[in-house]
């Protein structure tokens, strides 16, 4: 019995193959499938109000470069690498040297705190604000690896592809960045506690 694959059941690789052959609907499905994570990446890497423009430019570039996608990494991590590059380009074009601005609280306005638990909501908000403040104090490359690994929940391999760094650099920078982040959060807790 043959099974007819619906467009929704096609995996990324099948959609990429169809898009390379000129199937715009296949590429539109890839765009629809990955818009949310591309947007989250742009926001967390500091594109802010320009996130929509960044992901639109990234999807256009990805389409133009589709023939260069070799499948070494997942389409998602390849796309997120383009989003990360576009966000870096945005920062350069703005002339900002002060690093990336993370808007983690805005990225997840809902939390597991129940709506009627006002004290819990305030505490959760304070924890988020402390985390965002500590992340802003990290050097840019430390922030990038933390965002990829823990905010975007990318695997180590996907982080290697997204940032274009060697695996050893991702491992060591993740470890050092987490230690720095813990230290910053501990100092903040001592000041406020």
Maximum mean pLDDT: which of 29-33, 137-141, 177-181, 186-190: 29-33
Distance of alpha carbon 20 from the chain centroid? 25
User: Can you tell me the mean pLDDT for 25-29?
Assistant: 94
Q: Which fold has domain 9-192?
A: Rna Polymerase Sigma Factor; Chain: A (1.10.1740)
- Contact predicate 41/83, CB 8 Å: yes
**Largest Cα–Cα distance in the chain?**
67
Average pLDDT of the chain, as a whole number: 79
User: Domains of the chain: which residue ranges?
Assistant: 9-192
Radius of gyration of the chain from its Cα atoms, rounded to whole angstroms: 19
**pLDDT tens sequence across 92-108:** 775 533 333 333 333 44
Question: How many CA atoms does the CB half-sphere of 92 hold within 13 Å?
Answer: 6
């Amino acid at each position: 019995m043959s099974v007819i694959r619906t467009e929704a059941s096609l995996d990324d690789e099948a959609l990429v193959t169809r898009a390379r052959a000129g199937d715009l609907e296949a590429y539109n499905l890839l765009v629809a499938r990955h818009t949310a994570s591309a947007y989250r990446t742009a926001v967390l890497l500091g594109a802010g109000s320009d996130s929509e423009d960044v992901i639109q430019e990234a999807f256009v570039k990805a389409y133009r470069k589709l023939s260069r996608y070799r499948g070494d990494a997942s389409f998602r991590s390849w796309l997120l690498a383009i989003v990360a590059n576009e966000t870096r380009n945005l920062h350069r074009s703005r002339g900002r040297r002060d690093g990336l601005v993370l808007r983690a609280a805005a990225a997840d306005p809902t939390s597991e705190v129940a709506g009627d638990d006002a004290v819990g909501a305030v505490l959760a908000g304070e924890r988020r604000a402390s985390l965002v403040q500590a992340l802003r104090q990290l050097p840019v490359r430390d922030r990038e690896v933390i965002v990829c690994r823990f905010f975007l929940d990318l695997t180590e391999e996907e982080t290697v592809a997204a940032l274009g760094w060697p695996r050893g650099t991702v491992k060591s920078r993740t470890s050092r960045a987490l230690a720095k982040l813990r230290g910053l959060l501990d100092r903040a807790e001592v000041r406020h506690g």
